[in-house]
Chain A
Amino acid sequence: EPEVTQTPSHQVTQMGQEVILRCVPISNHLYFYWYRQILGQKVEFLVSFYNNEISEKSEIFDDQFSVERPDGSNFTLKIRSTKLEDSAMYFCATQIQGNTEAFFGQGTRLTVV
């Protein structure tokens, strides 16, 4: 069964450092998302990406965050200068056009120290 792959599975970084989280979407999917989940809380939307541009972003997705699809396959989330409160699980999700089922990756656990 096709799946969304995220790397790394766990990233520890110092406050103020830049991190890049990577996602390989399912090959024929056209809608890409990043969500995050702070420990014990619900999953929160960060950003959606379609046709090589951001289609929607949340209040959380401020100037410190960016997304891109640099090589037409990987979908990345960059946090420029991490803060302690960025510590969370970050999930990439993808959808095929016209279908409500979003496929989530296993997540990257980001720990900012």
Chain B
Amino acid sequence: GESVGLHLPTLSVQEGDNSIINCAYSNSASDYFIWYKQESGKGPQFIIDIRSNMDKRQGQRVTVLLNKTVKHLSLQIAATQPGDSAVYFCAENKAAGNKLTFGGGTRVLVKP
């Protein structure tokens, strides 16, 4: 069953340090794995995606790593800034244009 609760895992990170957010997924048939950022009072915002046939993809200050052997996805944020404070969700979908299945979120708090 799904875990339900009001408390999200929280990652506290010093401004300027690197952040690593982890996610375990269950559906091996997913074609895409995506990271979304949700700031307070806003909708999820796309950060970066990775296709299932890749193991690493880099964006601006972000890197996504995919380990299909252990069904693990991570998001690395370099030089974390106060504006990075948000809840981060991993998501998966079977193909472009299909629904997103979201995982549980991780709250990132950036300390000045």
Taking Cβ atoms with an 8 Å cutoff, the residues of A that contact B are: 4, 31, 33, 35, 39-45, 48, 50, 56, 58, 91, 93, 95, 97-107
From A33, A40, A100, A104, give the contact of B32 (CB < 8 A). A100
Interface mask (B84-107 → A, CB under 8 Å = 1, otherwise 0): 000001010100111111111100
Q: Is the CB of A56 within 8 A of B98?
A: yes
Given the interface pairs A39-B6, A42-B103, A42-B104, the reply to whether A101 lies near B46 with Cβ below 8 Å is yes
Given the interface pairs A39-B6, A40-B5, A40-B7, the reply to whether A104 lies near B45 with Cβ below 8 Å is yes
Q: Give A58 to B100 CA distance when docked, in angstroms.
A: 11
Q: Is B42 in the interface zone, CB < 8 Å from A?
A: yes
Q: Is the CB of A91 within 8 A of B43?
A: yes
Interfacial chain A residues near B34, Cβ < 8 Å: 100
The tally of CB-CB contacts under 8 A between chains A and B is: 63
Listed by A's residue number, 28 A-B pairs whose Cβ atoms lie within 8 Å are A33-B99, A33-B100, A39-B6, A40-B6, A40-B8, A41-B4, A42-B89, A42-B102, A43-B100, A45-B99, A45-B100, A45-B102, A48-B98, A48-B99, A50-B97, A93-B43, A95-B96, A95-B97, A98-B96, A99-B96, A100-B34, A100-B96, A101-B49, A104-B43, A104-B44, A104-B45, A106-B41, A106-B42
Taking Cβ atoms with an 8 Å cutoff, the residues of B that contact A are: 4-8, 32, 34, 41-46, 49, 89, 91, 93, 96-105
